[in-house]
Amino acid sequence: MRREIKEKTPRAVAAAVQLPSVSDVEFEASLTELRELAKTLGFEVIRTFVQKRSGFDTAAYLGVGKREEIRCFVNDEADPAGLEEAVQSAAPDAGPIDVIFVDHEISPSQARNLEKEIGCQVMDRTMVILEIFHRNARSRAARAQVEIARLGYMAPRLREAAKLAGPQGRQRSGVGGRGAGESHTELDRRKIRDRIAELQLEIVAMEAERKTQRARRQERQGLASVALVGYTNAGKSTLMRALTGSEVLVANKLFATLDTTVRTLYPESVPRVLVSDTVGFIKNLPHGLVASFKSTLDEALDASLLLHVIDASDPGFERQLEVTDKVLEEIGADVVPRIRVFNKIDHVGDAAAQAEREAALRAQYPDCVVMSARRPDEVAKLHQIVVAFFQRDLVEADLFLPWSAQQLRREIFATCEVLGERADGEGAFFRVRGESHVVESLRERFEPA
């Protein structure tokens, strides 16, 4: 009885075409990632079908033979060309296949044809990513941005559905406020356009609000800020937690973080450093999402330093590193100083393998940091490196504060490091270290003209 009540994990297969320009390693890494994405959505991928082709099949992405093979597998029929697989699929735990995941963005008509022929739902890479973003979006801004991207993805697919429905899809005029000869789809498309416009207005308003907040924050706390950027699941939020002692969401799934969070580096330093956690990158991020998440990544553009976090234990880390570099370039953040942080070194085999990987990384990327977010001493070292970066430009100076202005004493301690203090009949003398503009503005305010 119990077994029947228990919800079954939906089952799926994955499929991909390998183009001649794509190496085996790259192809495999991308497929592994697709299966990871599917898992994040709660699916169990029980089989992967691959095919080498000079191009995608215009009608249905995969070639005829491969489609037939998948159809047989999904429908549990004997495949004349692959009897062995059919036997395998007839195992007692076999259940229906709910979805076929495709590792490229395919056209609406390719998806429809594939769906009809194989007899189960098709989800392409873009749709999978959109769905994950949709589930994980928390803030109002993130939700609006994801909805825009989803609507943009859906619009041409509705058109496709209408084409298939044929002339019956057309409705007589005047019904339900529809214009003359306007079909359901046209109406839906108009609704989608209106909704997108509405959401865009909302986002503009929210952005304006955020800009003011950000400006206020920077004014209040100075400009020292560092942003954690990098591929999804690299460990950005884990490092954020470790560096700031805060409780941000950490999860072993893709795109756990969709909003930028900002916290103060802890233990606090002079100058105070703000750390922001950002949305993770991925290969072929749907275009709609690149644009809509630009505002989230703007935080990275504002930062004075980027910590580019890379999962050193992932076999595909080099590809992931390139993707992040490319996106940063696209949003114009490639001019921001950057430190490469190779994380999860604890996850690279045994001690010998870790040492070997570390040496290789250091040779290839001078000035990089190799560490594990799970080792407090290594987190402390990263903390030091960040602080040192912001202290590079600090100046030492003497400040004099007359007794009449003692209420400003707190401000000195809040914004500078006080190296020494002595007093005489007139007031107090401070030897301080701080950012030059901070020291200058303190001096202007304290010292009588």
Ligand X SMILES: Nc1nc2c(ncn2[C@@H]2O[C@H](COP(=O)(O)OP(=O)(O)OP(=O)(O)O)[C@@H](O)[C@H]2O)c(=O)[nH]1
Rule CB under 6 A: say whether 257 interacts with ligand X.
Answer: yes
DSSP notation for 77-138: ---TT-HHHHHHHTSTT-----EEEESS---HHHHHHHHHHHTSEEEEHHHHHHHHHHHH--
CB-based burial, 42-81: b 16+ in 10 Å, e otherwise:
ebebbbbbebeeeebbeebbbbeebbbbbbbbbeeeebee
Q: How far is the CB of 387 from ligand X (least distance, A)?
A: 21
User: Rounded CA gap, 385 and 391, in Å?
Assistant: 10
Binding-site partner at residue 303 among ligand X, Mg ion, none, CB < 5 to 8 Å by type: none
User: Rounded CA gap, 144 and 137, in Å?
Assistant: 9
Q: By CB under 6 A, what part of segment 194-233 binds ligand X?
A: 232-233
Query: Residue 227 or residue 442: which is nearer to ligand X going by CB?
Result: 227
Q: Is 150 exposed, middle or buried (0-12, 13-18, 19+ CB in 10 A)?
A: buried
Rule CB under 6 A: say whether 25 interacts with ligand X.
Answer: no
The two three-digit tokens of residue 238, written as one number: 């884990």
Q: How far is the CB of 277 from Mg ion (least distance, A)?
A: 6
User: Rounded CA gap, 438 and 226, in Å?
Assistant: 19
Q: How far is the CB of 220 from ligand X (least distance, A)?
A: 27
The binding track of 235-254 with respect to ligand X, each residue x by CB under 6 A or -, is xxxx-----------xxx-x
Omega cis (within 30) before 271? yes
Rule CB under 6 A: say whether 346 interacts with ligand X.
Answer: yes
Query: Residue 4 or residue 377: which is nearer to ligand X going by CB?
Result: 377
Q: Which residues bind Mg ion (CB under 5 A)?
A: 236-237, 256-257
Beta-strand pair 427-435/417-423: antiparallel
Q: How far is the CB of 304 from ligand X (least distance, A)?
A: 21
Rule CB under 6 A: say whether 234 interacts with ligand X.
Answer: yes
Rule CB under 6 A: say whether 72 interacts with ligand X.
Answer: no
Q: How far is the CB of 404 from ligand X (least distance, A)?
A: 50
Where does this chain touch ligand X (CB under 6 A) — which range of 286-294, 343-351, 356-364, 402-410? 343-351
Query: Residue 126 or residue 278: which is nearer to Mg ion going by CB?
Result: 278
- Identify how many contiguous H helices and E strands the chain contains and give both numbers: 16, 13
Binding site for ligand X (CB under 6 A): 232-238, 250-252, 254-257, 280, 343-344, 346-347, 372-374
